[in-house]
């Protein structure tokens, strides 16, 4: 479980470092910090990195929820061995990289870039070109990474009492272990809800510009 949890934690740190040392100073100065020579390459690298971090975190919501379901509902406490967990983690990273490369380098109509004028990032759209990235990758990924975890946590919630009664009759040690796992589950459920609220807010609310800084 800790291997699965460390993935979004590490990418969160990378994501925050990019915003702290690149986006925030750019917002204050109202100018990009990158030079003309290597600027486009570094900018493309940072754009791709933050896109990868976002989708890796999105996929982490699914992997964490599946982990909780297997442990607390199926009661397979030893299913996620270190080797299996590493395999799941590797597949998650590869899928996040595939999404990032597709959005940033193949669907040039709608790639994502960091922008100090928006305080974070924006989509680079080509006028008159359909936003394939949003329709076929971004929106489906966000919906899947929101609906699947929330559905799993609902199943866990409705199964708590039934499975708890059965475990009390079978093994007190197993019952105690499951209660401990349920506490972790509650924490991950809160993270999943926060994820849904964050992307939903960014998608529904109008973007803020930095024009007020100029007076």
210 vs 117: CA distance, rounded Å: 5
Q: Distance between CA 138 and CA 61 in Å, rounded?
A: 15
The string over 103-122, giving b where at least 16 C-beta atoms fall within 10 Å of a residue's C-beta and e elsewhere, is: bbeebebbbbbbbbebbebe
pLDDT of residue 38: 66
Residue 214 has a pLDDT of: 43
What is the C-alpha to C-alpha distance for residues 115 and 12, in angstroms, rounded to an integer?
19
Domain ranges of the chain: 2-214
- Report the candidate in 32, 55, 58, 56 with the shortest Cα–Cα distance to residue 44: 32
Q: How far out from the chain centre does Cα 60 lie?
A: 6
Instruction: Please indicate, yes or no, whether the overall pTM of this predicted structure exceeds 0.75.
Output: yes
pLDDT of residue 90: 92
- 38, two tokens: 């290597």
What is the CB neighbour count within 10 angstroms for residue 75? 16
- State residue 215's pLDDT score: 41
pLDDT 10s per residue in the chain (215 long)? 677 878 888 988 998 899 898 888 888 888 877 766 667 888 889 999 999 999 999 999 999 999 888 888 887 878 888 888 899 899 999 999 999 999 999 887 888 888 877 777 888 888 888 888 888 999 999 999 999 999 999 888 888 777 665 555 455 666 666 677 777 788 888 888 888 888 877 777 665 554 544 44
Q: What is the DSSP letter of 33?
A: -
- Residue pair 96/129 in contact by the 8 Å Cβ criterion: no
Residue 103 is encoded by which pair of tokens?
A: 């959005």
CA distance 151 to 65: 9
Does domain 2-214 bear CATH number 3.40.50.10090? no
- Which residues fall within 8 angstroms of residue 130, CB to CB, at 6 or more apart? 109
């Amino acid at each position: 479980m800790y291997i699965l949890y460390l993935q979004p934690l590490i990418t969160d740190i990378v994501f925050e470092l990019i915003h702290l040392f690149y986006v925030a100073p750019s917002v204050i100065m109202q100018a990009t910090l990158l030079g003309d020579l290597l600027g486009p390459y570094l900018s493309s690298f940072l754009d791709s990195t933050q896109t990868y971090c976002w989708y890796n975190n999105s996929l982490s919501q699914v992997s964490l929820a599946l982990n909780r379901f297997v442990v607390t509902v199926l009661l397979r406490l030893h299913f996620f061995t270190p080797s299996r967990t590493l395999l799941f983690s590797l597949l998650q990273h590869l899928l996040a990289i595939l999404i990032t490369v597709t959005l940033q380098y193949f669907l040039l109509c709608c790639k994502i870039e960091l922008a100090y004028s928006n305080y974070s990032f924006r989509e680079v759209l080509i006028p008159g070109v359909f936003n394939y990235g949003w329709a076929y990758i971004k929106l489906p990924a966000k919906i899947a990474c929101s609906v699947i975890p929330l559905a799993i946590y609902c199943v866990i919630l409705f199964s708590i009492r039934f499975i708890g009664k059965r475990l009390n009759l079978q093994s007190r040690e197993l019952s105690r272990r499951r209660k401990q796992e349920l506490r972790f589950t509650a924490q991950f459920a809160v993270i999943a809800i926060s994820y849904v609220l964050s992307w939903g807010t960014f998608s529904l609310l109008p973007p803020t510009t930095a024009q007020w800084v100029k007076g």
